[in-house]
Amino acid sequence: MDTLPPQSYRPPSLAPGPELRALAERVHRRFVSGEEVDPVDAARMAVLVLDPPSEPHAGVCVVARYRGGYAGRLHPKHGKWEVPGGTIEPGEHPRFAAFREFVEETGLVPIGLREVYVGQHTGPKGPHTARVFVASVEGQHGAGQSEDGGPIDGVPWASLVGPEGLYADTLRAAFPDGPPRR
């Protein structure tokens, strides 16, 4: 029986190829057959095969309708409203970073994750590339809790894009005509 790579495994080359494709297919088969496989590893392998990384060292955020608003929280340090997001780790694909950050920060699983915006922004740490994704969490009734224990709730769009919004400039640039419909 083949040994699965540990969760921290990163393939030596992120370029799609026969070895990486075979690994992703093997992990996927085990996952769908109900065998013991870490679903995060399955997602990481699938994303790497289907869409290799394009630009590391950037930020991601995910906008998803939740409880009558958008999944978000009041940031404990900044005191501003934020949508789930964070930094792309070295060697990590932006879509996987968005998936990982959303799960870590909400406890919910983003479905249909789709990138809708890429732009240059200047934040507290200087200029960076910001990537915005949309997703659905419909039908999920989890408590919605961030990794630091803070509650995730349905935040009004106006709070996210107003002066009290942590990523307000990025969200206004990504959605100039108003909030996403999805």
Specify the CATH superfamily of domain 59-174. Nucleoside Triphosphate Pyrophosphohydrolase (3.90.79.10)
Biggest alpha carbon–alpha carbon distance for the chain: 56
Mean pLDDT for the chain overall: 75
Total-model pTM: 0.67
Q: Answer with the residue of higher pLDDT: 120 or 147.
A: 120
Q: What is the CA 108 to chain-centroid distance, rounded?
A: 11
Tens of pLDDT, residues 67-100: 888 998 888 887 888 899 888 887 778 888 898 8
Question: Per the structure block, which two tokens stand in for 106?
Answer: 């909400």
Confidence category of residue 146, pLDDT binned at 50, 70, 90? low
Closest CA to 8 of 92, 118, 119, 95: 92
Q: Answer with the residue of higher pLDDT: 122 or 15.
A: 122
Specify the 3-state DSSP secondary structure of 122. Answer: strand
Type of residue found at 52: P
Question: Which sequence spans correspond to the domains of the chain?
Answer: 18-50, 59-174
Query: What are φ and ψ of residue 18, in 5° steps?
Result: -60, -40
Q: Answer with the residue of higher pLDDT: 122 or 72.
A: 72
